[in-house]
Amino acid sequence: MSSQMNLKTGIEMKVGSACTAVLTGAMLLAFTTGCSSKNYVRSQTTPIIQQTNDLDAKTATDHRNIVDTDERATKGIAKAQGAADTAEQHAQAAGQSADAAGTSAQDAYNRVDTLNGVIADLDKYKAIGDVTVNFAFDKAVLTTSERKSLDDFAAGLADKRMYILAVTGGTDSVGDAEYNYGLSQRRADAVVNYLSTKYNIPPRKFYLIGIGKNLEVASNSTSAGRAKNRRVEVKLMTNMDQQASASTPNGR
């Protein structure tokens, strides 16, 4: 009886030990598995988190750079615009000054339909020289050859005193009458401005006469005739009595 009890007790103790071992092994396995899972998750997620942080940092840096670039560009544009505005204002002021000077000079020219009733003692004035320059179709700009003709003409003015310059501009019959009137004026102005500026001839010496397409010098039915009508004529007229008096010594 005692032997049986001892045997039973031994068996129970072994069974208990075995259970304890099983439970301990299960707990260790669970703990080990849990640790492994956490380590695996950590190993996988850490690089992703780091990449995300790096991306955030790069995005922030890029944003700052963009803002800085935008600010510099805005300041540069504003500075360039300010310089452009200043230059434009200076150009406009210079243009206005030039226009005013040109207008003042042209206003000083005598624009008349005829010399009769304008020049005192006109019958005492004689034409002692003339020059004609021709223009291309619809042009009012002097060419090199036209300037040369005017230079040759102006060379004879150096020793003249009592004189006037009668300037007649013209066009051919092609086009609107009002347009041709303005074109003939521009042609006459081109000649007068050239002579007045280069040879320091006072504007009051010039008399712009009968400007328009109606004062033709040749038939407009041919191209050769129309070319002759696209012209400006300049006549040098002097008061012979005054010229003679100016050249006579006092008391003689």
Structural domain boundaries of the chain? 1-106, 111-247
pLDDT digit string (tens) for 32-68?
Answer: 555 556 666 567 667 777 777 777 777 778 777 776 7
- This prediction has a pTM of 0.56
What percent of the chain shows pLDDT beyond 70? 65
pLDDT at 100 over 50: no
3-state secondary structure of 165: strand
3-state secondary structure of 113: coil
Neighbours of 112 (CB within 10 A): 16
Which of the four CATH numbers 3.20.20.70, 3.30.1330.60, 3.40.30.10, 3.40.50.460 does domain 111-247 have? 3.30.1330.60
Neighbours of 167 (CB within 10 A): 24
What value does the mean pLDDT take over residues 175-188?
93
pLDDT digit string (tens) for 118-177?
Answer: 888 888 899 999 999 999 999 999 999 999 999 999 998 988 888 999 999 999 999 999
